[in-house]
Amino acid sequence: MRTLYTLVMYLLTPVILYRLSVRGLRARAYFGRWKERFGFIPDPGFDHCIWVHAVSVGEFNAALPLIRKLMAHYPDSPFVVTTVTPTGSDQVIKALGDSVYHVYLPYDLPAAVERFLDRVRPRIGVVMETEIWPNLFCCCRDRNIPIVVANARLSERSLKGYRPVQSLAAMALNCATSVAAQTGTDRDRLLKLGGRPEILHVVGSLKFDLDLAPDLASNGQALRESWGADRFVIVAASTHEDDEIPVMEAFQAILQQDPRVLLVLAPRHPERFARTSTRCRSLGYRTATRSEDGNPGPETQCFVLDTLGELMGYYAAADIAFVGGSLAMVGGHNVLEPASLGVPVVVGPHTFNFSEITELLLNRGGAIRVNDAAELARAWQQLQADPDLRGRMGQAAKDLVVEKRGAVERTIQLVQDAYGLSGRPDRPG
């Protein structure tokens, strides 16, 4: 099965490169650093590094508290951080600078993977979420490099998607030394996939252990003062096209009651920044963007956050937050970022990527679920009219995040256990 998989990967390589080129037409950064995607990277000149892989921005943000704790635990060890997307790469450079060696993870082709491992020579690998790459995991096993899969999650939809290649996925998963599942449901699904019980652990979600800047609240208040402190501010974050259409309809309804409401729109993907601001202007809204205008003025109705790494600052200035990917059938994005700041959350019906976390937040009263633009407008109007309700929801959301923290320390323990096994030829698995 692995041989067949490798053959298919080689046959698909021209298609992958074509897709990369198409994405490059929208985001120029995809045209750069192609050699890294095939394992041709400069030799960093060190041995026995700790390697952490996070696909893109969301995964890296969840990994950041873990990376910083690992750096404190292993101050003499070099660190390698890999991503797949340019936006993830930008976030690594912004957050960690030259304290880590950063490159793209190569495609899962044996020769590319071998070149990558020859250059970075990791003592241990920490792979965020459920990035199960058969050749990568098997090569690490063959070299006695322990792998810890951190913050692992597996939706019912993804489990069904693995069925045609279940034996291959199970073989790769079982190359890992430990798998730190977010919830008991995730562990059960990984068992169904074929994971060995002894490597599966429930540790909670790293996303609860957000690394909040101490001046975040004061900076948020300063933003509010510059916009007009008494304005009602809605942040619609990580939005996709199928989120933004109902968001705009709901915004039109709330504007009819209060023309001073400010909508901050943060599209999920950079290639959609310009399209989103164009749509806002075409609908007649007075629109500003972060890159061109800095911050919204008193007359701004729609403000498009077309930069990366600043969303938490705008959540800190919000009255309520809508988290995208949930009216669009994408599966939802991270509801814990606004929740950690005590901001009431509104989500759509499609939250299967964060199903248990979203349900916890809903059950605690920190979030509201809506199904369409009309329900979204009613939820926003209700929250605007009732400051006490906003306060109760925000406190419930914040309390939940505080209560569920601790996944970083539990994951660190698994990493330490695996780190002690590295280099041993008799390592289990």
Inter-residue contact 305 to 266 (CB < 8 Å): yes
Is 59 labeled as catalytic in the residue annotation? yes
Q: How far apart are CA 393 and CA 368, in angstroms?
A: 9
Q: 3-state SS of 225-267?
A: HHHCCCCCEEEEEEECHHHHHHHHHHHHHHHHHCCCCEEEEEE
Q: Which of 260, 292, 249 is nearest to 273 (CA)?
A: 292
Sheet holding 49-53, edge to edge: 101-104, 79-83, 49-53, 122-128, 147-152, 178-181, 200-202
How many C-beta atoms surround the C-beta of residue 293 within 10 A?
Answer: 13
Residue found under tokens 């800047």: 213
3-class DSSP state for residue 404? Answer: coil
Residue found under tokens 């569920």: 404
Q: Which of 89, 98, 116, 100 is nearest to 27 (CA)?
A: 89
Q: Which of 289, 337, 308, 273 is nearest to 94 (CA)?
A: 308
* Bridge partners (DSSP) listed for residue 233: 262
C-alpha count within 13 angstroms, C-beta hemisphere, residue 424: 12
Inter-residue contact 398 to 315 (CB < 8 Å): no
The one catalytic residue in 36, 59, 337, 375 is: 59
Q: How far apart are CA 201 and CA 8, in angstroms?
A: 32
Question: What residues are annotated to the active site?
Answer: 59
